[in-house]
């Protein structure tokens, strides 16, 4: 019997395989920088609806611009204070921080 070169169908992702918050808000990860450990979450351009000031360059992160949100993961005052102190960065500014 000849070999079939057609690609095989993969099982479609069911509701149990899809994390809606991860799909909408991006993947939360931790990054180590010179000044400590940070939680970093990307924001898609379609989810960016407000204007923020980037702490890296001081310029505006406008609506519709993909960017990242970062906050301390190793803060001394607790997780609630770290989350309240989160900042919106241009992706490039965050990379060179």
User: How far is residue 43's CA from residue 64's CA, in Å, rounded to a whole number?
Assistant: 10
Q: Is residue 71 part of a domain?
A: yes
Read off the pTM: 0.72
* Banded model confidence at residue 14, pLDDT cuts 50, 70, 90: low
Q: Do 67 and 48 touch, CB atoms closer than 8 A? A: yes
Q: Is residue 47 part of a domain?
A: yes
Q: Is residue 1 part of a domain?
A: no
Q: Is residue 90 part of a domain?
A: yes
User: What domain range is 50 assigned to?
Assistant: 20-96
User: How far is residue 57's CA from residue 84's CA, in Å, rounded to a whole number?
Assistant: 21
Residue whose structure tokens are 């099982």: 11
- pLDDT confidence of residue 77: 83
Q: Is residue 10 part of a domain?
A: no
Q: Do 36 and 74 touch, CB atoms closer than 8 A? A: yes
Q: Is residue 70 part of a domain?
A: yes
* Banded model confidence at residue 17, pLDDT cuts 50, 70, 90: low
Q: Is residue 33 part of a domain?
A: yes
* Banded model confidence at residue 15, pLDDT cuts 50, 70, 90: low
* pLDDT, tens digit, 9 for 90 and up, residues 18-77: 555 555 556 899 999 999 999 999 999 999 999 999 999 999 999 999 999 999 998 888
């Amino acid at each position: 019997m000849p070999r079939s070169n057609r690609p095989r169908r993969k099982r479609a992702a069911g509701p149990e395989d899809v994390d809606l918050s991860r799909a909408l808000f991006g993947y939360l990860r931790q990054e180590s920088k010179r000044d400590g450990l940070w939680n970093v979450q990307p924001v898609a351009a379609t989810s960016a609806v407000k204007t923020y000031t980037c702490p890296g360059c001081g310029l505006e992160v406008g609506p519709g611009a993909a960017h990242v949100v970062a906050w301390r993961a190793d803060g001394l005052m607790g997780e609630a204070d770290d989350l309240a102190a989160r900042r919106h960065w241009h992706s490039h500014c965050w990379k060179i921080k």
